[in-house]
Amino acid sequence: MRLLKRDRDHGGLSCIVLGGTGAGKTTFMLSAVALPLLETREILFWRDSEFCQWTFLPLNRVKLLLSPFYEYEWIDKDTGETVNVDDYVRNSYCYTLEDFYEKAEPNVLNVVYTDYAGWFNFISSVLLMRRDVRWVSLFMDEVEKFVPANVEGNRWRMNLEFANALAEFRKNFISFYCAAQDYGDVDYRVTNKLNFKVYLRNARVPKAHSMVYPQVPRHLNMGEAVIEGMGEFTKHTFTKLQHQLNLLVRIKPLLAGNGLAESYAADAAMEELENEAGEASVNAGAS
Ligand SMILES: Nc1ncnc2c1ncn2[C@@H]1O[C@H](COP(=O)(O)OP(=O)(O)O)[C@@H](O)[C@H]1O
Ligand SMILES: [Mg+2]
């Protein structure tokens, strides 16, 4: 499959999976992309939400990377009871951003639970600064929540910073797989940088950015995808996965004002970026 090809000369690849709710976006990323990559030595990072999408994989193929600045309450969706996640899946607390990389392993999906600032800093100061040349894949489901279109002020700048980081992925051997309901829901500075688009059933084709006829996704069945990129498009099928656990997680910040624990509040995260930039220029001025 084209999204699994690895070529040192070309570097990492990037794609966005498109389709409405229930079209199979999460399943496509896990079943067609993550599962085959689990058989390689590549390091896979998955950004999860309270929905615990990792429960779609065999539990021995998952490792949770947790932040000590949060309290995680795992809840069985059927009974409403609290679950001890240690009984089901391996997990590690990561005390520094470097820990997220050091504690990640090949052959498992490394599920990262951190906030925007945590992700952004992990990408920019760890993944893009690595000394090794291992292949890394980053999965961001519901990416429209991470870098939404049509935002202003700090959020606008944060999206730009992320788009700039994304431009560095290819030569750092990082592949990026994300999913959204609609192309237009994601900041254009991010979508502009992606090499591939995957259309699932009834996905809207962004006409100005695609050579696929808009009616094509309407003729797809569940489990069929059209992959467009590098001047061609191909059809691919993917299979359904079974939930291994029926879980959700409630995540509460334990400490306010800590770098990693800075809630999902965008402004707080941006303030941090600005302080860092300020410090960097002060340091540069002093030397
Ligand atoms: N290839 C497939 N064949 C049949 N059912 C599928 C397939 N892929 C996904 N599904 C089912 O469709 C539903 C929605 O899938 P999901 O991946 O959660 O969609 P999305 O992330 O786009 O909302 C799930 O119940 C899933 O099991
Ligand atoms: Mg989904």
pLDDT tens digits in sequence order for the chain, 287 residues long:
999 999 999 999 999 999 999 999 999 999 999 999 999 999 999 999 889 999 999 999 999 999 988 999 999 999 999 999 999 999 999 999 999 999 999 999 999 998 888 899 999 999 999 999 999 999 999 999 999 999 999 999 999 999 999 999 999 999 999 999 999 999 999 999 999 999 999 999 998 899 999 999 999 999 999 999 999 999 999 999 999 999 999 998 886 554 444 444 444 555 555 565 555 555 554 44
Structure tokens at 194: 């992606």
CA dihedral 158, 21, 78, 109 (to 10 degrees): -50
- In which domain, by residue range, is 205 found? 10-286
176 contacts 190 by C-beta, under 8 angstroms: no
**Pocket residues: Cβ below 6 A from ligand 1:** 19, 21-27, 222-223, 238-240
Q: Is residue 213 part of a domain?
A: yes
Residue 245 to residue 74: CA distance in whole angstroms: 11
The CATH number covering residue 185 comes to 3.40.50.300
Number of domains in the chain: 1
227 contacts 2 by C-beta, under 8 angstroms: yes
Q: Is residue 3 part of a domain?
A: no
- Distance in Å, CA 22 to ligand 2 centroid: 7
Q: Is residue 1 part of a domain?
A: no
Q: How many CB atoms are closer than 10 A to CB 54?
A: 23
Q: Indicate which atom in ligand 1 lies nearest the CA of residue 200.
A: 22
Closest CA to 139 of 173, 177, 96: 177
Q: Is residue 120 part of a domain?
A: yes
Residue 153 to residue 23: CA distance in whole angstroms: 33
Q: Is residue 187 part of a domain?
A: yes
193 contacts 163 by C-beta, under 8 angstroms: yes
Q: Is residue 150 part of a domain?
A: yes
- Distance in Å, CA 28 to ligand 2 centroid: 9
Ligand 1, atom 15, lies closest to the CA of 24
Name the residue of 56, 240, 242, 243 whose CB sits within 8 Å of the most ligand 1 atoms, as the mutation to test its pocket.
240
Q: Indicate which atom in ligand 1 lies nearest the CA of residue 56.
A: 27
